Structure 1
Amino acid sequence: MNKLNLTIAALFITTTAACASAGHAPAQQQNGILVGENGMTLYTFDKDVANSGKSVCNDKCASLWPPLFAKKNAKPTGSFSIITRDDGSKQWAVKGKPLYFWVKDKQPGDTTGDGVKNVWRIAK
Structure 2
Amino acid sequence: MIQQRIALLSAAGLAAALLLGACGSSTDQNATGTSPGSTAPVATGPSPSATSAPAGSGDSGTGHMATTTMLMAKTVQGMGSMVTDDKGMTLYRYDKDQPTPSKWTCAGECTKTWMPVMVQDSVQVMGVEKNLVGTVHRDGMKQATLGGWPLYRYMGDTKAGQMNGQGKDKAWYAVTPSGRKSTMTS
Does the pair score TM above 0.5?
A: yes
Identity %: 27
Higher strand share: 2
Instruction: Name the CA distance, whole Å, in 1 between partners of 2:133 and 2:154.
Output: 19
2:52 is aligned with 1:52: no
Equivalences for residues 1-124 of structure 1 within 5 A: 23-24=43-44, 26-31=70-75, 32-71=81-120, 73-74=121-122, 77-85=130-138, 87-124=139-176
Instruction: Name the CA distance, whole Å, in 2 between partners of 1:39 and 1:99.
Output: 14
TM-score (norm 1): 0.75
Higher helix share: 1
Unaligned runs of 5+ in 1: 1-21
Number of aligned residue pairs: 101
1:62, CA displacement in angstroms?
A: 1.1
Residues 53, 96 of structure 1: 8 Å contact kept: yes
**Counterparts in 2 of 1:41 and 1:75: CA distance versus 1, 3 Å:** closer
1:74, CA displacement in angstroms?
A: 2.6
Structure whose CA Rg is larger:
1
Instruction: Name the CA distance, whole Å, in 2 between partners of 1:82 and 1:75.
Output: 10
Give deviations 1:8-64, integer Å, cap 9, x for gaps. Answer: xxxxxxxxxxxxxx7136311101000001110000000001122321011111111
Residues 65, 103 of structure 1: 8 Å contact kept: yes
The structure with higher relative contact order (CA 8 Å, sep 6+) is: 1
Look up the equivalent residue of 1:114 and give its one-letter code.
Q
Unaligned runs of 5+ in 2: 1-41, 46-69, 76-80, 125-129, 177-186
Instruction: Name the CA distance, whole Å, in 1 between partners of 2:136 and 2:159.
Output: 27
Residues 75, 82 of structure 1: 8 Å contact kept: no
